[in-house]
Amino acid sequence: IELAKKNKMEFYTANPQDAFPNVLEEYKKEMKENNWDFGQDDEELFELAMHDRQYRDYKSGIAKKRFEEELEKAKAAQQAPQETAAPKVSLSKEESKEQMFSYLCKKYPNAKPVVATASGTLLWEIDVVDKSIAPVPGKKYKENDTFAFIQTYYGNEEIILPYEGTLVDTCLCQGTTIKKGDVIAWIE
């Protein structure tokens, strides 16, 4: 009060809620007109009163449309590398893995598989400045080079190459969930 007087201001002693118009009845009317459920304990009414624009966008479908547009833009901007062009088959996961392995063995008869050493999320590289991408076929590696990473529950594990060679193909995209023993690439 003293600070307000010192600054030649009036100290506000009324109920702050009185400064706002009571529009609760208008919100109730809007919900009834639109046949919107008030929800248990009027929580839907509360959502409309607290976030009226967002709630209307949600109910009208505008929010979903906006989200899908933003998602498509983000996907396009990311330009994630595509999976290797392999035959599309409708098999179980294990049968599909075996078919892919067989297909790539025939495609690259002199290549050796690079195998996941743990289960987790495949990270081709860890780049905090730019997007991480799979290595380009033709890239040369030496024995004991770090080839990729697997993000596990206990941290990032490096995939170290047991032999030198040239990358001929990658099998999976950045961020793919893999299991220990999965083939992720082929080195010749």
d(Cα 180, Cα 150) in Å, to the nearest integer? 10
pLDDT band at 166 (very low <50, low <70, confident <90, very high): very high
Give residue-wise pLDDT tens across range 15-30.
888 888 888 899 999 9
The mean per-residue pLDDT over the stretch 128-148 comes to 86
Q: What is the pLDDT at residue 109?
A: 80
Q: What is the pLDDT at residue 75?
A: 80
Q: What is the pTM of this model?
A: 0.47
Q: What is the pLDDT at residue 6?
A: 93
Angle subtended at Cα 183 by Cα 178 and Cα 187, rounded to the nearest 5 degrees: 135
Q: Kindly tell me if the per-residue pLDDT of 90 is higher than 60.
A: no
CB 182 within 8 A of CB 98: no
The mean per-residue pLDDT over the stretch 133-139 comes to 86
d(Cα 184, Cα 152) in Å, to the nearest integer? 16
CB 167 within 8 A of CB 141: yes
Joined tokens for residue 13: 């002693």
Q: What is the pLDDT at residue 79?
A: 63
Q: What is the pLDDT at residue 142?
A: 93
